[in-house]
Structure 1
Amino acid sequence: MGSLDTARLLPWSSPDGKPCFLVGDGTGYVSRRADDVEAAQLDSAADLMDEACRIFAARNWTPGEIHLLAVELASSLANVHRVAESRGARLPVPVDDVPDVEDDGPGAEEAPGEHVIDYEDAGPHLPAEAFG
């Protein structure tokens, strides 16, 4: 799945709230455990969406129910966002997205068949502080 040069954002944080990363080929125990946790988080989000629809359809909720639902939805959204960020960061950049190198532009000194990829626009990125 992954490669040794790709750090995977794990679906949990350290005890002090910092993101956790895994470097590996995606086949070990921690990778499988992370896959299981991500699947559980996505299943939980789907169940919570169903519950929210049920509560709203009933039209007889209390402020406490709405507050609890909002807290649970916010937590679930944070989990789903983390899963999406992690998976998106591990997607390969499609060859079609590699810009053509012009003869007189940046990268003109490269050998034929080489391309400079501007990773600034290559997809989702983790903030620099995530690595500190």
Structure 2
Amino acid sequence: MTAHSELRLLPWSGTDGKPCYLSTDDSNSHLSRLADTTEAIQLGLATDLLTSALEVLNDEKTAPEDLRNLSTDLVGALRDTLRVATSRGQRLSTPRPSTQGGGDNPRLPAAAFG
């Protein structure tokens, strides 16, 4: 396994609201697995909330307080989802440009597109 030189953004924040990071090259450590599980739960909750939100928004009789509560829940889910996306994006390996074909345009094999 290759050691990572970057910190992993964890899917929760500290008590002061600041981001928490993990420094490890072991993606199977207890804290790494806990972070993976938490990310999966957060994304699942966001999916469930989206379904509920569509139902609430389609109901013309939804009270303003219910819409306010829904908005608060959606903001929280969006914050969590963006944190997961940021963390996962930071952990993607950066592809090296291909030397085949010359020029400034890197070439990817067809398999890269599924």
Q: Normalising by structure 2, what TM-score?
A: 0.80
Alignment of 1:59-70 (within 5 A): 59-70=60-71
Give the Å deviation of 1:15. Answer: 1.1
Question: Aligned residue for 1:22?
Answer: 22
Name the SS for the 2:9 alignment partner.
strand
Question: Aligned residue for 1:81?
Answer: 82
Name the SS for the 1:12 alignment partner.
strand
Name the SS for the 1:24 alignment partner.
coil
Give the Å deviation of 1:3. Answer: 2.7
- After superposition, give the CA deviation of every residue in 1:13-70 in whole Å (9 maximum; x if it has no partner): 1111111111112110000000010000000000000000111122210000100000
Name the SS for the 1:96 alignment partner.
coil
In structure 2, the gaps of 5 or more residues are: 105-114
Cα RMSD of the aligned pairs, angstroms, is 2.3
Please say if 1:3 is aligned against 2:3.
yes
CA distance in 1, matches of 2:19, 2:54: 31
Q: Which range moves more in the overlay, 53-62 or 88-97?
A: 88-97
Give the Å deviation of 1:101. Answer: 9.4
Contact 1:9 1:19 in 2 (8 A): yes
Indicate the percent of aligned positions where both proteins have the same amino acid.
39
Change (3 A) 1:80 1:2: farther
CA distance in 2, matches of 1:3, 1:23: 10
Question: Aligned residue for 2:112?
Answer: none
Question: Runs of 4+ in structure 1 displaced over 6 angstroms?
Answer: none
Q: Normalising by structure 1, what TM-score?
A: 0.69
Give the Å deviation of 1:95. Answer: 2.0
Contact 1:7 1:22 in 2 (8 A): yes
Question: Aligned residue for 2:46?
Answer: 45
Contact 1:2 1:90 in 2 (8 A): no
